[in-house]
Amino acid sequence: MKYNRILLKLSGEALMGQQQYGIDAARLMQYAEEIKAAAATGTQVAVVIGGGNIFRGVQAEAFGLDRVQGDYMGMLATVINSMALQSALEKLGVNTRLLSGVTIQRVCEPYIRRRAMRHLEKGRVVIFGAGIGSPYFTTDSAASLRAIEIEADVVLKGTRVDGIYTADPEKDPSAVRFPEITFDEVMEKNLNVMDMTAFTLCKENNLPIIVFDMNKGGNLQRLLDGESVGTLVSMHGSKTVAADANHGSLQPAAGEGSEEQA
């Protein structure tokens, strides 16, 4: 088992599937199946899910609403997604607990670190709702912070793309994917992995991040099996691989280094 404890970050937007808004039932069940399989390996699984498919705080200003109010609306959106994921997991027979950064006592437990860790030790999938419970943050920051608090081995950022590229592979055919990259290089190259607060938390606490395509079935399992999937951001190592048409190739690009950096 490569990891004892993981924190999986899923974006709310990814939950929309092909829709423009809300939750796509098929996508939700797919995520639940993948999480079930991950937990069945004995890896302890914590999940943070975003709320962008329902509401983001920045939208509030466009509506002429107060930003802080908007952020709380966004946090509540993450609770809706968390509840949906919890139900989907329970339908598959997975034991779960939903812990919220904003107290909503009828539907979830309050976030208490020790309780979260105890649930994980008992093999329950723990879902953290409502981000960190404060406005002006994102669920990426919540994922980083909770991962550090619960001593997770890695943050797995499940997205719609299969990793971090030198440029946008849809616009630049010469773009190559980094299977591994250092925190420093991400900053030097100004690459977009997570927002700065979330990224800095990981960097300063030496918590590796893996960015990977969660929509490709089996990817989460492959990661847990130790396969190179997506891009690993850590203190060590940097290499790139050529992108294929599906942006999924693992072939080393000619002349591209596989050398380790200190």
User: Which residues make up the interface to ligand UDP (CB under 6 A)?
Assistant: 11-13, 50-52, 56-57, 70-71, 74-75, 77-78, 131-132, 134-135, 137-142
Question: Phi and psi (nearest 5°) for 6?
Answer: -120, 155
As measured in angstroms, the least distance from the Cβ of 185 to ligand UDP is 24
Closer Cβ to ligand UDP, 74 or 163, answer by number:
74
Measured between alpha carbons, how far is 166 from 202 in angstroms, rounded to an integer?
21
As measured in angstroms, the least distance from the Cβ of 158 to ligand UDP is 10
Closer Cβ to ligand UDP, 78 or 219, answer by number:
78
Closer Cβ to ligand UDP, 78 or 96, answer by number:
78
Closer Cβ to ligand UDP, 152 or 241, answer by number:
152
Q: Whose CB is nearest to ligand UDP?
A: 50
As measured in angstroms, the least distance from the Cβ of 255 to ligand UDP is 36
Name the residue among 27, 10, 32, 25 with its Cα closest to residue 91: 32
What amino acid occupies position 27? R
Residue-wise over 154-182: b if at least 16 C-beta within 10 A, else e? bbbbbbebbbbbbeebeeeeebbbbbbbb
Closer Cβ to ligand UDP, 156 or 243, answer by number:
156
Closer Cβ to ligand UDP, 12 or 208, answer by number:
12
Q: Is 123 strand, coil or helix?
A: coil
As measured in angstroms, the least distance from the Cβ of 214 to ligand UDP is 12
Closer Cβ to ligand UDP, 108 or 243, answer by number:
108
As measured in angstroms, the least distance from the Cβ of 6 to ligand UDP is 17
Long-range Cβ contact pairs of 247-252 (< 8 A, separation 24 or more): 247/161, 247/162, 247/165, 247/169, 247/177, 248/162, 248/213, 248/216, 249/177, 250/179
As measured in angstroms, the least distance from the Cβ of 136 to ligand UDP is 6
Measured between alpha carbons, how far is 251 from 227 in angstroms, rounded to an integer?
14
Measured between alpha carbons, how far is 88 from 256 in angstroms, rounded to an integer?
43
Q: Is 30 strand, coil or helix?
A: helix
As measured in angstroms, the least distance from the Cβ of 99 to ligand UDP is 13
Closer Cβ to ligand UDP, 43 or 53, answer by number:
53
The neighbour count for residue 150, using CB atoms within 10 Å, is 19
Measured between alpha carbons, how far is 217 from 138 in angstroms, rounded to an integer?
26
Q: Which two tokens stand for residue 254?
A: 């000619």
